[in-house]
Chain A
Amino acid sequence: MAYNLKQEASKPERFVGGHRLCAGCGAGVAVRGVLRALNDEDKSVSGVATSCLEVSSFLYPFTAWNDCFIHSAFENVAASVAGAEAAYKALKRKGKVKDNYKFIAFGGDGGTYDIGFQALSGAMERGHDMVYVCYDNEAYMNTGLQRSSATPKFAEVSTAPVGSKIPGKMQYKKDLTETIVAHNVPYVAQTTFTSNFKDFHEKAHKAHYTEGPAFLNILAPCPRGWRYPPEDLMAICKLAVDTCVWPLYEVVDGDWKLTYEPKTKLPVTDYLKPQGRFSHMFKPGAEWMLEDFQAHVDKKWERLLKKCK
């Protein structure tokens, strides 16, 4: 059946309002969308790494999760969900669990690219039937905007501030999606919030219903950390894909496929300019930073196009 946003949005919510995430936060949008892509008849268990998402969605005794939820720590969500999935297999085999459950791990970029990377790598390698979702907002937002390995080069963050000698973070963003592809995971995709969520929804659905591990990397902007008006969430995401800063693609059993190619590839300045975290890049004398950023995006994009041929 063809994708229909109105129809999808009318399904009963598995992640409901009333949580305490900031207005315009990408994390809630990501969770809601990922859970919406589950088939109606399936139940789910979501594990969440310690994060903004966790501390904002389950403050005892209130939960925003209508499906099952568990949090235990920061760096272990992949192993946690793997444990639940293992128990499910054993209990299902013994006839002790009747319903069908899907298993999803949610982590921010800090919990995924950095501290949770070992557990993620282990769970992907072992082949648990689960979906790992990274909501990537490119810094440690829960603790106050510290640098992660997902923070883009030159972005101003609290542990890589812009100073008179050093202009923000000096390293490029780690390419985690490609790293997970190298784990031979059957389904890996990168997406974000664009137009009618078709790309997002289809990838989330594929991830849920691919047997074995799947990995979704979702660019999930943080208006406070990135310093843009909360209502511009969709516009920022659109610019991220149209400048090829965050390309949309999927890798199915090792086959790379571009799922969106901008008609006109926009200059990265269109994406950087609206965000306060990059404002120092637009000061006189900072042109080299814009050139560096553009060159890096171009190089990565060309390589991706080759992989997707």
Chain B
Amino acid sequence: MGIRERLSGNEAVAIALKQINPDVLAAYPITPSTEVPQYFAQFVADGQVDTEFVAVESEHSAMSACITATAAGGRSATITSACGLALMWELLYVASGTRLPVTLAVVNRALSGPININNDHSDSMGARDSGWIQLYSENNQEAYDNYIMSLRIAEHKDVMLPVMTCQDGFITSHAIENIELLEDDKVKAFVGEYKPEHSLLSGESISMGPYDTPMFYFEHQYQRARAMVDSKQVILDVSKEFGDLTGRYYGLFEEYKMEDAERAIIVLNSTAGTAKAVCDELRAKGEKVGILKLRVYRPFPMEEIAKAISHVKAVAVMDKAESFSAAGGPVFTDVRSACYELATRPHIINYIYGLGGRDVPVDVIHFVFDELKKVVADNKPGEIYRHVGVRGV
């Protein structure tokens, strides 16, 4: 019945990695994800894993090494945050374009500049179109669970795409909470062996990473895009199997008190916890409010989200990242677009919040629900691209 523990989000990911025992772990230090390779290096030093730990000289090399290690038939993993993810950018596309199931644990942190070491989602949101599957985690338990599931999703023959699992820097990466771990043998059995159809070390002669001319490039991109579409069902299947094993069931998103909600907030990662607490408070007063917590952002569950909020009168999509598009944050534009075909659409407004570690207390969520009340009363959205918790607005 699992192992009860108290761990930080970083420890939880490190423990998952120990249980998985990947063939290669290549990583470079960056706050706030650094602890994961530190813990892992200790596992290596103590002989608790037989992974090749490659302490590379940059995140660019970390992702490069993971790509070829996976191409060689090994299971590879890396961990990073913020600028580290930005430095990997070029290779993120190479990993997904070469259809290599690398897994990456992102500990979300704001991108420079100016430099800021605290949490927001500008790093992984910027990578949303790199062909990686993205799973978001509310707490340490979800960071652990998502990471274990990510291997099975990535390595599924209908997918063969890399997966990044995300959790909030410091907020969940460093805060210690209760967690239920799986036994080592159960994790090993669940993730199984990585057996790619082709690899550099299988004995066959194979060339990978071609120069792709206009004659073929488009077809290869189409196949990658199809794999992203097909991954949705695989994510659901793997999550079901994981739920049967652990009792913890996950979908594409979590609907919290959404059945009869008139007002709703869509949010991801740790703020979902704060939002649920406010939701409970308001529900106790008889207010019909709900929370939709996005878990799977890529592939984007377009039809499912539209269906889930079709009955709601007003929705606030909260983005912990700017997209500087002058048209709202990334989750907002995706959600709003998803609702276009609905016969009756909710009013949808956007809040950019919590950038660079700006605290997100319950007041912020109360404020957003209050604003939604106004949207419902007026039956029009007003300004749709808004910022909350920032001075001078």
Q: Do A and B actually bind?
A: yes
Binding site for B on A (CB under 8 A): 43, 45, 47, 54-55, 58-61, 63, 65-73, 75-76, 78-84, 86-91, 93-94, 96-99, 101, 118-119, 121-123, 125-126
Residue in B71, B201, B205, B206 whose beta carbon sits within 8 Å of that of A91 in the complex: B201
Q: Kindly supply a per-residue 1/0 record for chain B positions 201-222, scoring 1 wherever the CB is within 8 Å of any chain A CB and 0 otherwise.
A: 1010111111111001000000
20 contacts between A and B (CB under 8 A): A45-B200, A47-B68, A58-B210, A65-B205, A67-B205, A70-B209, A71-B211, A72-B91, A73-B64, A73-B90, A73-B94, A76-B64, A82-B68, A84-B69, A86-B24, A86-B65, A87-B72, A89-B52, A97-B201, A122-B61
B158 in the interface, Cβ–Cβ < 8 Å? no
**Minimum C-beta distance from B211 to chain A (A):** 4
Question: In the complex, what distance in Å separates the CA atom of A138 from the CA atom of B294?
Answer: 52
Contact present for B210 and A61 (CB under 8 Å): yes
Contact present for A70 and B56 (CB under 8 Å): no
Report B-chain residues with C-beta under 8 Å of the C-beta of A83.
Answer: 24, 26, 54, 64-69, 72, 76
**Minimum C-beta distance from B375 to chain A (A):** 47
Contact present for A71 and B210 (CB under 8 Å): yes
CB-CB nearest 7 A-B residue pairs: A83-B65, A122-B57, A87-B74, A79-B61, A71-B209, A60-B210, A76-B64
Report B-chain residues with C-beta under 8 Å of the C-beta of A59.
Answer: 210-211, 213
B241 in the interface, Cβ–Cβ < 8 Å? no
Q: A65-B207, A101-B201 are in contact. Are A84 and B57 (CB under 8 A)?
A: no
Contact present for B76 and A60 (CB under 8 Å): no
Residue in A55, A88, A122 whose beta carbon sits within 8 Å of that of B58 in the complex: A122
Contact present for B94 and A58 (CB under 8 Å): no
Task: Name, among B68, B203, B216, the residue most crowded by chain A CB atoms within 10 Å (CB to CB).
Answer: B68
Contact present for A126 and B211 (CB under 8 Å): no
B55 in the interface, Cβ–Cβ < 8 Å? yes
CB closest chain-A residue, reference B57: A122
Report A-chain residues with C-beta under 8 Å of the C-beta of B81.
Answer: none
Binding site for A on B (CB under 8 A): 23-24, 26, 50-52, 54-58, 60-62, 64-74, 76, 90-91, 94, 98, 200-201, 203, 205-213, 216
Report A-chain residues with C-beta under 8 Å of the C-beta of B57.
Answer: 118-119, 121-122, 125
Question: In the complex, what distance in Å separates the CA atom of A99 from the CA atom of B201?
Answer: 8
Contact present for B54 and A119 (CB under 8 Å): no
Question: In the complex, what distance in Å separates the CA atom of A133 from the CA atom of B50?
Answer: 30
Report A-chain residues with C-beta under 8 Å of the C-beta of B70.
Answer: 87
Contact present for A91 and B23 (CB under 8 Å): yes
Report B-chain residues with C-beta under 8 Å of the C-beta of A94.
Answer: 23, 50
Contact present for A119 and B201 (CB under 8 Å): no
Contact present for A119 and B64 (CB under 8 Å): yes
Report B-chain residues with C-beta under 8 Å of the C-beta of A90.
Answer: 23-24, 50-52, 74
Report A-chain residues with C-beta under 8 Å of the C-beta of B90.
Answer: 73
Q: A72-B67, A84-B71, A87-B24 are in contact. Are A58 and B76 (CB under 8 A)?
A: no
Report B-chain residues with C-beta under 8 Å of the C-beta of A88.
Answer: 72, 201
Report A-chain residues with C-beta under 8 Å of the C-beta of B51.
Answer: 90
Task: Name, among A63, A72, A122, the residue most crowded by chain B CB atoms within 10 Å (CB to CB).
Answer: A72
Q: A45-B201, A70-B71 are in contact. Are A86 and B54 (CB under 8 A)?
A: yes
A sample of 19 more A-B contacts (CB under 8 A), given A73-B64, A87-B23, A87-B73, is A58-B210, A59-B213, A69-B206, A70-B71, A70-B207, A70-B209, A72-B98, A76-B61, A79-B56, A79-B62, A80-B68, A82-B56, A86-B23, A86-B52, A86-B74, A97-B73, A98-B203, A101-B201, A119-B64
**Minimum C-beta distance from A219 to chain B (A):** 25
Question: In the complex, what distance in Å separates the CA atom of A73 from the CA atom of B68?
Answer: 11
CB closest chain-A residue, reference B50: A93
Residue in A63, A93, A96, A121 whose beta carbon sits within 8 Å of that of B73 in the complex: A96
Report A-chain residues with C-beta under 8 Å of the C-beta of B74.
Answer: 86-87, 90-91
Question: In the complex, what distance in Å separates the CA atom of A72 from the CA atom of B132?
Answer: 16
CB closest chain-B residue, reference A74: B90
Question: In the complex, what distance in Å separates the CA atom of A61 from the CA atom of B211?
Answer: 9
**Minimum C-beta distance from A260 to chain B (A):** 34
**Minimum C-beta distance from A89 to chain B (A):** 5
Q: A73-B94, A87-B24, A118-B57 are in contact. Are A58 and B64 (CB under 8 A)?
A: no
Contact present for A68 and B54 (CB under 8 Å): no
Residue in B58, B68, B205 whose beta carbon sits within 8 Å of that of A70 in the complex: B68
Question: In the complex, what distance in Å separates the CA atom of A245 from the CA atom of B211?
Answer: 34
**Minimum C-beta distance from A82 to chain B (A):** 6
Q: A60-B213, A80-B67, A83-B66 are in contact. Are A45 and B72 (CB under 8 A)?
A: yes
Contact present for B206 and A68 (CB under 8 Å): yes
Report B-chain residues with C-beta under 8 Å of the C-beta of A81.
Answer: 68
Contact present for B76 and A87 (CB under 8 Å): yes
**Minimum C-beta distance from A95 to chain B (A):** 11
Question: In the complex, what distance in Å separates the CA atom of A87 from the CA atom of B211?
Answer: 24
Residue in A58, A75, A91 whose beta carbon sits within 8 Å of that of B209 in the complex: A58
Report A-chain residues with C-beta under 8 Å of the C-beta of B98.
Answer: 72
Report B-chain residues with C-beta under 8 Å of the C-beta of A55.
Answer: 211
Report B-chain residues with C-beta under 8 Å of the C-beta of A71.
Answer: 208-211
**Minimum C-beta distance from B27 to chain A (A):** 12
Contact present for B65 and A54 (CB under 8 Å): no
Contact present for B52 and A61 (CB under 8 Å): no
Question: In the complex, what distance in Å separates the CA atom of A182 from the CA atom of B73?
Answer: 33
Task: Name, among B65, B211, B213, the residue most crowded by chain A CB atoms within 10 Å (CB to CB).
Answer: B65
Contact present for B210 and A79 (CB under 8 Å): no
